[in-house]
């Protein structure tokens, strides 16, 4: 029996290209976001009976900072505040929304603290006809994932 439209929406993966980035309440356009993750630190605990019972894996949450890279096409004056943020050490919040075909948020990745630490200029090549894409690297911490209801 064929699946209905609602069943397909619920069971098929979302396309990776349909996302929205909001930095400190300001919606920004990026062509690629990479490095977003949420990890728990872990340790293998070997106790006196490990030879018989095996070691235990202990998981605990510790807020580590990691790199998040945002890439965007270079356009004049479009991201002046982003360049100013690079000069500051002020943490900002970041939200990355994974959207469905209608643009409705399905899953939201929330970053509590993000600090811009690096701006990489595009490659300049007179023989190329490619779009100039710059990348901004953020140090981020406090990542949470929530599913929209």
Q: How do residues 36-47 score in pLDDT, each as one tens digit?
A: 988 777 788 777
Q: Which CATH architecture has domain 5-147?
A: Roll (2.30)
Residue 86 three-state SS? helix
What are the Cα distances from residue 93, in Å, to 62, 116, 117, 130, 142?
19, 11, 15, 32, 10
37 Cβ contact list (under 8 Å, min separation 6): 66, 143
Q: How do residues 89-124 score in pLDDT, each as one tens digit?
A: 889 999 999 888 788 888 899 999 999 999 998 888
The pTM score is 0.76
How far is Cα 135 from Cα 35, in angstroms, rounded to an integer?
A: 13
Q: Measured between alpha carbons, how far apart are the two ends of the chain, in Å?
A: 28
Instruction: Identify the band that residue 32 occupies on the pLDDT scale cut at 50, 70 and 90.
Output: very high
């Amino acid at each position: 029996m064929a699946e209905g439209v609602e069943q397909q929406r619920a069971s098929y993966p979302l396309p990776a290209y349909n996302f929205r980035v909001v930095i400190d309440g300001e919606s920004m356009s990026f062509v690629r976001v990479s490095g977003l993750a949420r990890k728990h630190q872990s340790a293998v605990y070997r106790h006196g009976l490990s030879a018989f019972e095996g070691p235990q894996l202990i998981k605990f949450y510790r807020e580590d900072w990691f790199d998040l890279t945002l890439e965007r096409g270079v356009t004049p004056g479009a991201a002046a505040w982003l360049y100013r943020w690079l000069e500051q050490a002020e943490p900002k919040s970041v939200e990355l929304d994974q959207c469905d075909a209608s643009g409705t948020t399905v899953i939201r990745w929330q970053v509590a603290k993000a600090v811009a630490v690096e701006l990489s200029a595009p490659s300049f090549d007179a023989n190329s006809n490619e779009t100039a894409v710059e990348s901004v690297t953020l140090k981020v911490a406090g990542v949470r994932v929530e599913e929209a209801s």
